[in-house]
Amino acid sequence: MTLTSPEKKKIIMIIVDTLMDVTLQEALKNGKAPALQFFIENGYKIPNLVSPFPTMSVNVDSSLLTGVYSDQHKVPGLVWFNKNENRIINYGGNVRELFKLGLKQSMEDIFYNLNHNHLSKKHKTIHEILKDQDLQTASINTLMYRGNEPVQITFPFLMSMFTGMRRKIFAYAPYLFSYGAMAKLSPSKSHSFFWQKYGFNDKFSAKELQYLIQQDMHPAFTIAYFPDLDQRIHKKGRMNSKGIEKVDKQLQDILNTYPTWKDALTNNIWIILGDNGQAWIENDRKKALIDLRKLLQTYRIPKLRDRITSSDEVILCANERMTFIYTLDSNRVSLEKLAKTLQNDERIDVIAWKKGNSIYVISGIQAGQIIFRPEGNFIDEYGQKWSIEGDLEILDLSIKEKNIKYGTYPDALARLYTTFYSHEGDYLVVNAKPGYEFLAESSPTHVGGASHGGLHEQDSLVPMIVTGTDVKPKNPRIVDLKDWVLSLIKQL
């Protein structure tokens, strides 16, 4: 008799954009999420996983794949100023912004530069590391996808004609790569037309994953991105659970690919998580929107269409509830002066800048200042050491016997500090209180809905559901998931 070794488990990770525990609990309580309930009952849930800062998907997903914060992976946020190229880079915040910045250049940034020029090559992605170990991986609709395999991305004719992008570009991706209508696994054309965002939707992601399962093609590690919930929460508010029901229906379809739902668990580790939360936004437009152009109207701020010149003074890069504010000449316009101006607005709760190797933080909510830097006598709950002086309340910190405890700003010190080493330039990092978001020239707004980008726990905490293993990450942070995933694969 021949004994066969049991099949190795495979990891399937599903990122649900803006999955939050508060809306998940509401859907579960009402019996509207049977698939998610099934995964939880057969595994475990971490309710408060900490997202990187800024809490924007490109930055979050970069940390997930590389296991480092933006000081090392070098993708600062959705919108940032590239000092070397003297231009604003925007990975897709608003169509009007992209038009003004130059649609062709913006498309090149989104579809190529983000993964191949801006994401640091010093830190390998999960896909690249597993390829080095002769293990195959799959990426379905993820914003960050860099791997080792040369692939061709083919833009639909209308998209190419409208944006000026050439029809085909060559990139490096995982062995199995799905990227909307531009690179598909399944021969089916369903859910990939232009009125369906060219395949960047939940149904397309689910169908592609189902195809891998049906064909018995899913590899050691598969990561799939479900984008639809994000827009619903933006529009309807952070307490709207209807979107969870829609996501759950796609998960039910995936589970139904197997003979029984239990069979889906036999040889797989399932990981389902959010990438960022969202904070509520006021209904009153005048209250909700912090118009930075008005607050800083005494400074010369170039329009998005205009070339940035030596006469310009300040650049605004709004990432919804967080903003990078750059001074182009710190001798003419100091960061401290800009910070003091912004401090007059009580809707702004964190105003930070780098001086030497220290980070200085003030607030529009309260007086005082906190200064911190790494390698001190205080240690936080993640084992990181810090030197701290000043008013702890500004970042809602408490210290007992040299142990730092975080409050409403999870992992605040590391998340803020690393942001100042993500790219070159002299800039403030500014954060809005829940209820408010920043307005630059044409930045997207979400009055009466919800928004993210910020440091606050509403933006920063997401749930993660795991089945197929009892092993947990070292820390409940997205930045710690890469090492955890690699260790799981090593154990399988």
Whether 441 and 463 share a structural domain: no
Q: Where are the beta strands (DSSP E) in 145-301?
A: 149-154, 168-173, 176-178, 221-226, 268-274, 279-280, 289-291
Measured between its terminal Cα atoms, the distance across the chain in Å is 25
Gap between the Cα atoms of 318 and 305, Å rounded: 16
pLDDT one-digit tens code per residue, 166-186 = 788 899 999 999 987 667 776
Asked if the structure places residue 424 within a domain, the reply is: yes
The reply to whether 112 falls in a domain is: no
Q: Is residue 164 part of a domain?
A: yes
* Same-domain status, 269 and 290: no
187 falls in which pLDDT band (50, 70, 90)?
Answer: low
Whole-angstrom distance, CA of residue 207 vs CA of residue 423: 38
At residue 191, the pLDDT reads 55
Same domain, 266 and 383: no
Give pLDDT, residue 469: 96
pLDDT tens digits for range 448-457: 999 999 999 9
| Torsion sign across C-alpha atoms 224, 188, 265, 24 | positive
For 84-148, what is the HEC assignment?
CCCEEEECCCCHHHHHHHCHHHHHHHHHHHHHHHHCCCCCCCHHHHHHHCCCCEEEECCCCCCCC
Contact 448, 35 (CB under 8 A): no
Distance in angstroms (rounded) separating the CA atoms of residues 143 and 57: 8
Residue 273 lies in a domain: yes
Is residue 327 within 8 Å of 334, Cβ to Cβ?
yes
Distances (CA, A) of 298 to 116, 193, 293, 301, 312: 38, 46, 9, 9, 12
Most confident of 193-207, 229-243, 271-285: 271-285
Residue 51, both tokens: 């997202």
Residue 162 CA neighbour count, 13 Å, CB half: 10
Rounded Cα–Cα distance for residues 50 and 463 (Å):
9
Segment 135-170, tens digit of pLDDT: 999 999 999 999 999 998 887 777 777 777 778 889
**In the predicted model, is pLDDT for residue 320 greater than 60?**
yes
Domain presence at residue 437 = yes
Beta strands in 348-396 (DSSP E): 348-355, 358-362, 370-380, 385-390
Neighbours of 318 (CB within 10 A): 30
Q: What is the C-alpha to C-alpha distance for residues 212 and 232, in angstroms, rounded to an integer?
A: 28
Name the pLDDT band for 1 (thresholds 50, 70, 90). very low
Query: Do residue 169 and residue 26 come from a single domain?
Result: yes
Indicate whether 173 and 52 sit together in one domain.
Answer: yes
Encoded tokens for 113 = 């530069």
Q: 281: closest CA among 433, 436, 438, 461?
A: 436
pLDDT of residue 110: 87
Q: Are residues 235 and 306 in the same domain?
A: no
Q: Are residues 265 and 402 in the same domain?
A: no
Tell me the three-class secondary structure of 224-266, residue by residue.
EEECHHHHHHHHHCCCCCHHHHHHHHHHHHHHCCCCCHHHHHH
pLDDT at position 3? 37
Q: What percent of the chain has pLDDT over 90?
A: 79
Query: 370 is in which domain, residue-wise?
Result: 285-448
Residue range 322-343: average pLDDT?
96
User: Cα 352 to the chain's mean position, in Å?
Assistant: 21
Give 3-state DSSP helix, strand, coil % of the chain, rounded to 5.
35, 25, 40
Higher pLDDT pick, 471 / 3: 471
Lowest mean pLDDT among 181-185, 232-236, 373-377, 446-450: 181-185
C-alpha atoms less than 13 angstroms from C-alpha of 178 in its C-beta half-sphere:
33
282-309 average pLDDT score = 94
Q: For residue 267, give the CATH number of its domain.
A: 3.40.720.10
In this structure, of 101-115, 148-162, 321-335, 433-447, the range with the lowest mean pLDDT score is 148-162
Same domain membership, residue 424 and residue 295: yes
Total domains, the chain: 2
- For residue 54, tell me if it sits in a domain: yes
- Please report the pLDDT score of residue 4 as a whole number: 38
Spatial separation of the C-alpha atoms in residues 11 and 5, rounded to whole Å: 18
Tell whether 335 and 232 lie within a shared domain.
no
Which pLDDT score is estimated for 5? Answer: 42
The per-residue pLDDT for 102 is 78
Contacts of 36 (CB under 8 A, 6+ apart): 24, 27, 28, 244, 247, 248, 251, 272, 465
Specify whether 465 is located in the same domain as 316. Answer: no
Please indicate, yes or no, if residue 208 is contained in any of the structural domains.
Answer: yes
Q: Are residues 375 and 321 in the same domain?
A: yes
Q: Are residues 35 and 136 in the same domain?
A: yes
pTM of the model: 0.95
Q: Is residue 89 part of a domain?
A: no
Model confidence at 188, pLDDT cuts 50, 70, 90, reads: low
Give the mean pLDDT of the chain.
Answer: 92
